[in-house]
Amino acid sequence: MRRWNGWGDSANNYPLKPSGLRFVQARLGRAEPLPDAELQSVLDQVPASRLAAHPLVSTDPEIRVRHARGQSLPDWLAMRSGEFGHFPDGVAEPETSGEVRKLLSWAEQHDVVVIPYGGGTSVAGHINPQPSSKPVLTLSLARMNRLVELDRESQIATFGAGTPGPQVEQQLREQGYVLGHFPQSWELSTIGGWVASRSSGQQSMRYGRIEQMFAGGKVETPRGTLEIPAIPASSAGPDIREIILGSEGRMGIITEVKVRVTPLPETESFHVAFAPNWDTAVELVRGMTQARLPLSMLRVSNPEETRSHLMLAGHEKLVSVLHRYLGLRGCGDEKCMITFGVTGERRQSRQTLAAARQRIRGAGGVVIGTLLGKKWEESRFRSPYLRHGLWEHGYVVDTFETAVNWKQVTPAMKAMEQAVREQAGDGEQVHVFTHLSHLYPQGSSIYTTYVFRCSASYPETLARWQAMKQAASEAIVANGGTISHQHGVGRDHAPWLIHEKGQEGMAAIRSLIGHFDPQQRLNPGCLIQDSDVTDKQG
Amino acid sequence: MRRWNGWGDSANNYPLKPSGLRFVQARLGRAEPLPDAELQSVLDQVPASRLAAHPLVSTDPEIRVRHARGQSLPDWLAMRSGEFGHFPDGVAEPETSGEVRKLLSWAEQHDVVVIPYGGGTSVAGHINPQPSSKPVLTLSLARMNRLVELDRESQIATFGAGTPGPQVEQQLREQGYVLGHFPQSWELSTIGGWVASRSSGQQSMRYGRIEQMFAGGKVETPRGTLEIPAIPASSAGPDIREIILGSEGRMGIITEVKVRVTPLPETESFHVAFAPNWDTAVELVRGMTQARLPLSMLRVSNPEETRSHLMLAGHEKLVSVLHRYLGLRGCGDEKCMITFGVTGERRQSRQTLAAARQRIRGAGGVVIGTLLGKKWEESRFRSPYLRHGLWEHGYVVDTFETAVNWKQVTPAMKAMEQAVREQAGDGEQVHVFTHLSHLYPQGSSIYTTYVFRCSASYPETLARWQAMKQAASEAIVANGGTISHQHGVGRDHAPWLIHEKGQEGMAAIRSLIGHFDPQQRLNPGCLIQDSDVTDKQG
């Protein structure tokens, strides 16, 4: 069963390996875990529902607890401490667009706030009920989880918006197709949630971001039903899909998603190489990307992430042999791990792989082969479980991310890492490392992970995190980065959005929200902060 | 000097070749040309300007004539007959965003309608002044035609929005870069116009549509300046670029365009092949596209276009040898010409070319080589001149286009061609042919050309065209096509937009226009028809 207070199914456990724990302890010092709350103590806090009865709405306390929080660090601390704060007054699980429509009408009739809910995996506070004088209904798309239609000739699949990653791929695989959207949250996040939050997956280099996959669909808005046809390309006015992409539940509830799919690839493999240092590594991957080498994924870890990754992986002896071998080949302490994948037709994949290897060797790098690549593939969705493994030992892990143009990649990364380190507090260490995982000809995403010790209490731990998050966000916008390349805005990033969109961009989004949802019934406070969403001219 | 009543520079003449003329005469019968008006007779019609004096605004009659019409068939008939109808009251040619801002304020102060003007190449009535009680100012970006900045590391170039195709590429080529946007109108159309109308170029397979190139920029809106930063990718809310793309001058005046550029390719070549018939050809190019073969262009002509193309090209003897050779190899009367290009690194291009040839031969096609490919390349921007060549002999040519999913490609093409044929009138023939020129894994553009005889008068010729255009547009939307894949909406396609966007999509666009331009000062009637643009809720 899915955990009520953490990531994934309770059957899945990935405890920290001894070598990993020693590594973290050496960096940060020993730590004391904070005590976890019991589910019952949380259930006891759930207040009576303020909702009128409705056949599609459950007001069961446990269901309300299980839909109250996402997966951000504040969410984690809330769930672990048992201090949830707010709960939805009820949870609806409609099975059709028609039922969603009816629930929206009912919500209007009863003046209810509605929070659309996909997989509940937001790390930016997208689905958290806010204090409100109105009752709050969380509308989960969980039951709309089927492949509705597959047009093989045009390679377009239509899914219920609540279909989670594994069910998307399984239903397609049975027909010989793949979508290829693999965000870190893939096990739990849904196709509608990907659209609503402009998600990006690990193999975006081949399959594109969700923007490139999203061909059309159906959105139930407070104004009425918005149907977006799947046309391959059009010059007929602004693209409505691009208004819904990233709308984060503010403009309507996505109920049906049409996506561009491809036949299952003939072949797929992942490989690891090392470059002698960061500058060489960045130059190398920038060159590979700008030459449009048709890789399916490409990731480069900075030296600290490389070290951490190898230590946390376990296999001490093997790793030590690897260090020695790489050292002899010119990749010493400052080496950077490069992971890359090829996916597709056999012949083209072979050619791509040869070209990639040639470039890596030409830059003084060492290609290791598929062993570590296979390891990456096996554990590609395991990172969210790392929070559990560290938490047990008194450590907290979180991540933040952005995308910047190539010119800014290294300065932005340094500024982001530095900002977090500076906020650690008196004599306290933070372990910070970074990778680039979505590379574009114009620039790259930057994904930073940081680990620190729990403070003596939950509130102090949260305060420490807040200081680091604030500093990191400031560093991001100061370096021309987007406040989110893949996590979305939610409530946590909303204060920073203006740095990317500007005054007039913000006004346009506000105006669209006001257009689709004049009552501000849908997910208020998400994406755009202003309590007053209606556009004030001039 | 640029023609005042047709396409291109008056130094460029491409008269119909004798074999081409005979071919058209055989299909349609001999025809009588309609008489052309003289410039002076048009100048005599230009009324006094209703504009107050402004240092940046010219009210010279010839300048007003030269900015009154685009390049649609109704525009052509208006220019040739000298019956222009309406003229702008003046033309401004600002040199900076600041001057554009000032002109917008001045327009507000004097209650002036403003039509943003790029290259004036619209074929859908984008820039035509409408009857209005308010004076009309055409605001040309022609003087904002320079490469402002080039970030080599991030491969982003910033241009003044009025830079026409040849100047875009020339300024980039001097720095070793290429944009690669080559619409048919390339000689005259501008980078800002491409963004405003969501343009697509002949090598979109490699370089993308303008949506993929447009990284950010500056837009002067009646509300204020909208600055869109160039971030490689973002999950932070709706993409503001996608609101400006296709805005057709209704939301603001694009003054600066940032585009993604690439280094000049190592190699580029264009090739021609033939497939035995349409169904085989479509299956073949769909397969090539869905396999993501990295071609830079791919086009397939239906049998009638193939015949026409070969006849209009001249070289009768050569063509007759070719027909015989292809016939022996299984490509007879129903053969379809396939043109394809490879662009990029030498090795990858070689591999792509080999894979393409293998697929073509595997489908029973014949690869001819680069001779006809070179011909295509030499004459790639010559089609708009064809209207002149035919007109001299009493024939009219026009085109329309759409994009549909693969499932609909052949039915839509047949319906579109049939619709035009049926509208020719009593015993009158229309010569109709089609190609697919922008291919996507999900579907393809369909581009149909039709040639017919002038009627006895201008109004009758226009009426015949209107009947055909109406029928073609109906066939497009009945087959699930976009009303425009590359020409935009303008005023001519506006009645059809609702079939693509739906009621709620239309309302969203109307709402955005109302947001940015509450006074409806910018290009009223373009894109969205309603005289009342402000959104009526409910």
Q: What's the rounded Cα separation, in Å, for the pair B484 and A47?
A: 55
Chain B CA closest to residue A443: B232
Which chain A residues are Cβ-neighbours of B184 within 8 angstroms? none
Q: Do A236 and B507 touch (CB under 8 A)?
A: no
Q: Do B151 and A508 touch (CB under 8 A)?
A: no
**Mutant choice from B219, B235, B353 vs A, greatest count of A C-beta within 10 A:** B235
pLDDT for the residue numbered A535: 43
Q: What is the ipTM of this complex?
A: 0.96
CATH number, position B212:
3.30.465.10
Print the domain residue range for B166: 147-231+240-263
Q: Do A154 and B538 touch (CB under 8 A)?
A: no
- Would you call B466 exposed, middle or buried from its count of C-beta atoms within 10 A (0-12, 13-18, 19+)? middle
A21 within a domain of the structure (yes/no): no
Query: A313 CA to chain B: closest CA distance, Å?
Result: 30
In this predicted structure, the answer to whether residue A534 has a pLDDT above a threshold of 50 is no
Which of A232, A242, A485 has its CB closest to that of B403? Answer: A232
Q: Which residues of A are catalytic?
A: 447
Q: Do B512 and A509 touch (CB under 8 A)?
A: no
B388 within a domain of the structure (yes/no): no
Do B365 and B272 lie in one domain? The reply is yes
DSSP-derived 3-state class of residue B319: helix
Ramachandran angles phi, psi of B314, nearest 5°: 80, -150
In this predicted structure, the answer to whether residue A528 has a pLDDT above a threshold of 80 is yes
Do A416 and A514 lie in one domain? The reply is no
The answer on whether A301 is annotated among ligand-binding residues is no
Do B132 and B166 lie in one domain? The reply is no
pLDDT for the residue numbered B315: 77
Q: What's the rounded Cα separation, in Å, for the pair B37 and B262?
A: 45
Which chain A residues are Cβ-neighbours of B242 within 8 angstroms? 238-239, 242-243
pLDDT for the residue numbered A531: 55
DSSP assignment of A175-223: TTEE-----TTTTT-BHHHHHHTT---TTHHHH--HHHHEEEEEEEETT
Contact B349, B342 (CB under 8 A): yes
Do A107 and A156 lie in one domain? The reply is no
Name the pairing type of β-strands A431-436 and B57-58: unpaired
Contact A194, A119 (CB under 8 A): no
Name the pairing type of β-strands B336-344 and B253-260: unpaired
CATH number, position A443:
3.30.300.330
- Would you call A537 exposed, middle or buried from its count of C-beta atoms within 10 A (0-12, 13-18, 19+)? exposed
Contact B88, B139 (CB under 8 A): no
A23 within a domain of the structure (yes/no): no
Write down which residue in A208, A234, A263 finishes a domain.
A263
Contact B486, B438 (CB under 8 A): yes
Q: What's the rounded Cα separation, in Å, for the pair A138 and A112?
A: 10
Do B161 and B127 lie in one domain? The reply is no
Q: Do A443 and B232 touch (CB under 8 A)?
A: yes
CATH number, position A123:
3.30.43.10
* Per-position b or e across A378-387, b if 16+ CB within 10 A of its CB: eebbeebbbb
B332 Cβ contact list (under 8 Å, min separation 6): B276, B326
Question: From residue B119, how far is each of A240, A514, B142, B158, B498 by CA, in Å?
Answer: 27, 36, 8, 18, 27
Write down which residue in A426, A454, A478 finishes a domain.
A478
Q: What's the rounded Cα separation, in Å, for the pair B282 and B407?
A: 11
pLDDT for the residue numbered B535: 43
A2 within a domain of the structure (yes/no): no
A27 within a domain of the structure (yes/no): no
pLDDT for the residue numbered B316: 82
Do A170 and A257 lie in one domain? The reply is yes
Chain A CA closest to residue B350: A351
Do A373 and A285 lie in one domain? The reply is yes
E-strand spans in B173-261?
A: 177-178, 214-221, 224-228, 253-260
Per-residue pLDDT of chain B (538 residues; tens, 9 = 90+): 999 999 999 999 899 989 899 999 999 999 999 999 999 999 999 999 999 999 999 999 999 999 999 999 999 999 999 999 999 999 999 999 999 999 999 999 999 999 999 999 999 999 999 999 999 999 999 999 999 999 999 999 999 999 999 999 999 999 999 999 999 999 999 999 999 999 999 999 999 999 999 999 999 999 999 999 999 999 999 999 999 999 999 999 999 999 999 999 999 999 999 999 999 999 999 999 999 999 999 999 999 999 999 988 777 888 899 999 999 999 999 999 999 999 999 999 999 999 999 999 999 999 998 999 999 999 999 999 999 999 999 999 999 999 999 999 999 999 999 999 999 877 899 999 999 999 999 999 999 999 999 999 999 999 999 999 999 999 999 999 999 999 999 999 999 999 999 999 999 999 999 999 999 999 999 999 965 444 443 3
Write down the mean pLDDT value for chain A.
96
Q: Please give the tally of structural domains in chain B.
A: 4
pLDDT for the residue numbered A530: 67
CATH number, position A372:
3.30.70.3450
A26 within a domain of the structure (yes/no): no
Do B155 and B101 lie in one domain? The reply is no
| Residue B133 CB neighbours (<10 A) | 7
B393 within a domain of the structure (yes/no): no
Write down which residue in A140, A170, A203 finishes a domain.
A140
Query: A354 CA to chain B: closest CA distance, Å?
Result: 11
Q: Do B481 and A231 touch (CB under 8 A)?
A: yes
Confidence (pTM): 0.97
Do A199 and A101 lie in one domain? The reply is no
B424 within a domain of the structure (yes/no): no
Do A250 and A300 lie in one domain? The reply is no
pLDDT in tens, B495-521: 999 999 999 999 999 999 999 999 999
pLDDT in tens, A188-218: 999 999 999 999 999 999 999 999 999 999 9
Share of chain A above pLDDT 70, in %: 98
pLDDT in tens, A343-358: 999 999 999 999 999 9
Do A106 and A169 lie in one domain? The reply is no
Q: What's the rounded Cα separation, in Å, for the pair B323 and B317?
A: 10
Q: What's the rounded Cα separation, in Å, for the pair A301 and A449?
A: 11
pLDDT for the residue numbered A425: 78
pLDDT for the residue numbered B538: 33
Which chain A residues are Cβ-neighbours of B155 within 8 angstroms? 290, 406, 441-442
pLDDT for the residue numbered A536: 41
Query: B107 CA to chain A: closest CA distance, Å?
Result: 17
In this predicted structure, the answer to whether residue A458 has a pLDDT above a threshold of 90 is yes
Do B363 and B327 lie in one domain? The reply is yes
**Mutant choice from A235, A239, A520 vs B, greatest count of B C-beta within 10 A:** A235
pLDDT for the residue numbered A312: 81
> Which of A16-30, A372-386, B216-230 tops mean pLDDT?
B216-230
